[in-house]
Chains A and B, each alone.
Chain A
Amino acid sequence: MLEIKDLHATVEGNEILKGITLTINPGEVHAIMGPNGAGKSTLSAVLAGRDGYEVTQGTITFDGKDLAEMAVEERAQAGLLMGFQYPVEIPGVKNIYLLKSALNAQRAARGMEDMPAPEFMKLIKEKIAFMKMDSSFLHRAVNEGFSGGEKKRNEILQMLVLQPKLALLDEIDSGLDIDAMKVVAEGVNSLRSEDRAILMVTHYQRLLDHITPDQVHVLIDGRIAKSGDQHLAQELEARGYEWVVEEPAA
Chain B
Amino acid sequence: MATEAMEQLARREYKQGFITDIESDTVPPGLDESTIAFISQKKGEPQWMLDWRLEAYHQWLKMTSPSWAHLDYPPIDYQAISYFSAPKKPEDRPQSLDEVDPKLLETYEKLGIPLHERAALAGVAVDAVFDSVSVTTTFREKLAEAGVIFCSISEAIREYPELVRQYLGTVVPPGDNYFAALNSAVFTDGSFVYIPEGVTCPMELSTYFRINAANTGQFERTLIVCDKRAQVSYLEGCTAPQRDENQLHAAVVELVALEDAYIKYSTVQNWYPGDEDGKGGIYNFVTKRGDCRGDRSRISWTQVETGSAITWKYPSCLLRGNESKGEFYSVAVTNGRQQADTGTKMIHIGKNTSSTIVSKGIAAGKSNQSYRGLVKVSPRATGSRNFTQCDSLLIGDKCGAHTFPYQEIGNSRSTIEHEATTSKIGDDQLFYCKSRGISEEDAVSMIVNGFCKDVFQELPMEFAVEAEALLSVTLEGSVG
Residue B440 at the chain A interface, CB threshold 8 Å: yes
A residues 23-69 near B (Cβ < 8 Å) are 48-51
Evaluate contact between A77 and B437: CB separation under 8 angstroms: yes
With most chain A CB atoms within 10 A of its CB, the pick from B423, B428, B440, B451 is B428
Evaluate contact between B447 and A93: CB separation under 8 angstroms: yes
Evaluate contact between B435 and A72: CB separation under 8 angstroms: yes
Evaluate contact between B436 and A90: CB separation under 8 angstroms: no
Q: Which chain B residues lie closer than 8 Å to A49 at the CB level?
A: 435
Distance A73 CA – B439 CA, assembled complex (angstroms): 6
Residue A98 at the chain B interface, CB threshold 8 Å: yes
Q: How many residues of B contact A (CB 8 A)?
A: 22
Residue B431 at the chain A interface, CB threshold 8 Å: yes
Residue B199 at the chain A interface, CB threshold 8 Å: no
Residue A141 at the chain B interface, CB threshold 8 Å: yes
Distance A158 CA – B438 CA, assembled complex (angstroms): 13
Q: Tally of A-B residue pairs with Cβ under 8 A?
A: 76
- What are the interface flags for A96-138 relative to B under an 8 Å C-beta threshold, 1 for contact and 0 otherwise? 0110011001100100000000000000000000000000000
Q: Which chain A residues lie closer than 8 Å to B438 at the CB level?
A: 73, 98, 101-102, 105
Residue B450 at the chain A interface, CB threshold 8 Å: yes
Evaluate contact between B450 and A141: CB separation under 8 angstroms: yes
Q: Which chain B residues lie closer than 8 Å to A73 at the CB level?
A: 434-440
Q: Which chain B residues lie closer than 8 Å to A97 at the CB level?
A: 446, 450
Evaluate contact between B435 and A92: CB separation under 8 angstroms: no
Residue A87 at the chain B interface, CB threshold 8 Å: yes
23 contacts between A and B (CB under 8 A): A51-B427, A73-B435, A73-B440, A76-B434, A76-B435, A82-B435, A84-B432, A84-B435, A90-B432, A90-B450, A91-B450, A92-B447, A92-B450, A94-B450, A97-B446, A101-B442, A102-B433, A105-B436, A105-B437, A105-B439, A105-B442, A106-B436, A158-B436
Give the contact-size bracket for chain A: 20 to 34
Q: A45 — nearest CB in chain B belongs to which residue?
A: B431
Distance A179 CA – B434 CA, assembled complex (angstroms): 30
Q: Which chain B residues lie closer than 8 Å to A91 at the CB level?
A: 423, 450-451
Q: A88-B426, A88-B429 are in contact. Are A93 and B446 (CB under 8 A)?
A: yes
Q: Which chain B residues lie closer than 8 Å to A93 at the CB level?
A: 446-447, 450
Q: Which chain A residues lie closer than 8 Å to B423 at the CB level?
A: 91
Distance A50 CA – B430 CA, assembled complex (angstroms): 11
Q: A109 — nearest CB in chain B belongs to which residue?
A: B437
> How far in angstroms is the closest Cβ of chain A from B125?
39
| A residues lining the B interface (CB < 8 Å) | 48-51, 71-73, 75-77, 81-82, 84, 87-88, 90-94, 97-98, 101-102, 105-106, 109, 141, 158, 162
Evaluate contact between A162 and B450: CB separation under 8 angstroms: no
Distance A173 CA – B71 CA, assembled complex (angstroms): 51
Distance A89 CA – B436 CA, assembled complex (angstroms): 14
Evaluate contact between A106 and B451: CB separation under 8 angstroms: no
> How far in angstroms is the closest Cβ of chain A from B269?
22
Distance A93 CA – B429 CA, assembled complex (angstroms): 11
B residues 158-174 near A (Cβ < 8 Å) are none
Q: Which chain B residues lie closer than 8 Å to A72 at the CB level?
A: 431, 434-435
Distance A51 CA – B442 CA, assembled complex (angstroms): 19
Q: Which chain B residues lie closer than 8 Å to A105 at the CB level?
A: 436-439, 442
Evaluate contact between B431 and A81: CB separation under 8 angstroms: no
Residue B398 at the chain A interface, CB threshold 8 Å: no
Q: Which chain A residues lie closer than 8 Å to B432 at the CB level?
A: 84, 87-88, 90
Residue B402 at the chain A interface, CB threshold 8 Å: no
Q: A90 — nearest CB in chain B belongs to which residue?
A: B429
Residue B453 at the chain A interface, CB threshold 8 Å: yes
Q: Which chain A residues lie closer than 8 Å to B453 at the CB level?
A: 92
> How far in angstroms is the closest Cβ of chain A from B109?
18
Distance A109 CA – B427 CA, assembled complex (angstroms): 23
**Apart from A90-B429, A92-B453, A101-B446: 11 A-B pairs, beta carbons within 8 A:** A49-B435, A51-B427, A51-B431, A72-B431, A88-B429, A91-B423, A98-B438, A105-B439, A158-B436, A162-B436, A162-B437
User: Given A92, A98, A141, which contacts B433 in the complex, CB threshold below 8 Å?
Assistant: A98
Evaluate contact between B447 and A90: CB separation under 8 angstroms: yes
Evaluate contact between B439 and A50: CB separation under 8 angstroms: no
Distance A75 CA – B397 CA, assembled complex (angstroms): 28
Distance A73 CA – B434 CA, assembled complex (angstroms): 5
Distance A76 CA – B438 CA, assembled complex (angstroms): 8
Q: B436 — nearest CB in chain A belongs to which residue?
A: A102
> How far in angstroms is the closest Cβ of chain B from A61?
19
Q: A82 — nearest CB in chain B belongs to which residue?
A: B435
B residues 398-434 near A (Cβ < 8 Å) are 423, 426-429, 431-434
Q: Which chain A residues lie closer than 8 Å to B451 at the CB level?
A: 91-92
